[in-house]
């Protein structure tokens, strides 16, 4: 069985507010602050095919504050990787490793220029374009790992979901001591 996982990387002014927002809207999630301007969220409902709508709702709102960006990632059975880029309350770009799964695949391929301009790393445009277009990935965790490495994101975010954290099935270097568990009752 392949990997099923979902996460959201929040950057900018919304990052330190992520936990309070999730509490207010009564979500169940793990939040991991990486810095004053970055946090990762693993929402219980943002996993697998059923998590797309929840990811869009949460990421859209978290991307509203000025200078905030949210990158949503969903991996489906390690066969399909979806990456969404949000800013200003809108999904501004979407990458899907198997666009043939959409009704209109030509419209939703992922624009490396948009990603790199939004994330302020124009020097990575050619590399990201190649990663988006590559057919070399046997498993989509490989592609996601390469994208994470290019942007300097922690390697341990790949393959981690709400369920893997809850079960303790995370990489050895995963920073459990920094996690905040958000529940509707908290």
Q: What does DSSP say about strands 80-87 and 69-76: parallel, antiparallel, or unpaired?
A: antiparallel
Long-range pairs of 106-113 with CB within 8 A, sequence gap ≥ 24: 110/83
Q: What is the rounded distance in angstroms from the CA atom of residue 8 to the CA atom of residue 58?
A: 9
What does the pLDDT read at residue 109? 74
**How many percent of the chain have pLDDT more than 90?**
77
**How many percent of the chain have pLDDT more than 70?**
94
Query: Which residues are bridge partners to 83 per DSSP?
Result: 73, 95
Query: Where does the chain have alpha helices with state H?
Result: 18-24, 52-62, 112-118, 125-133, 140-151, 162-167
What does the pLDDT read at residue 30? 98
Q: Which string of DSSP letters, residue by residue, matches 57-71?
A: HHHHHHT-STT-EEE
The rounded mean pLDDT for the chain is: 91
Q: What is the pLDDT of residues 39-70, one digit of tens each?
A: 999 999 998 667 889 999 999 999 999 999 99
| Pick from 178, 158, 141, 163: nearest CA to 2 | 141
Q: What is the rounded distance in angstroms from the CA atom of residue 63 to the CA atom of residue 49?
A: 22
What does the pLDDT read at residue 108? 54
What does the pLDDT read at residue 179? 96
- pLDDT > 70? residue 105: no
Query: Where does 25-121 have alpha helices with state H?
Result: 52-62, 112-118
């Amino acid at each position: 069985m392949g990997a099923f996982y979902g996460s959201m990387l929040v950057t900018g002014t919304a990052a330190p507010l992520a936990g309070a927002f999730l509490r207010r809207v009564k979500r169940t999630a793990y939040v991991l602050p990486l810095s004053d301007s970055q946090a990762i969220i693993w929402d219980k409902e943002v996993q697998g095919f059923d998590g797309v709508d929840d990811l869009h709702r949460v990421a859209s709102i978290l991307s509203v504050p000025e200078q905030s960006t949210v990158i949503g990632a969903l991996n489906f059975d390690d066969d399909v990787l979806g990456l969404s880029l949000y800013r200003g309350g809108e999904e501004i770009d979407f990458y899907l490793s198997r666009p043939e799964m959409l009704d209109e695949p030509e419209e939703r391929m992922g624009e490396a220029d948009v990603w790199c301009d939004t994330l302020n790393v124009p020097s990575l445009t050619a590399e990201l374009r190649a990663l988006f277009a590559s057919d070399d990935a046997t498993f989509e965790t490989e592609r996601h790992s390469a994208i994470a490495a290019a942007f300097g994101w922690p390697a341990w975010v790949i393959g981690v979901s709400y369920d893997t954290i809850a079960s303790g099935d995370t990489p050895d270097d995963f920073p459990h001591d920094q996690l905040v568990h958000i529940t509707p009752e908290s």
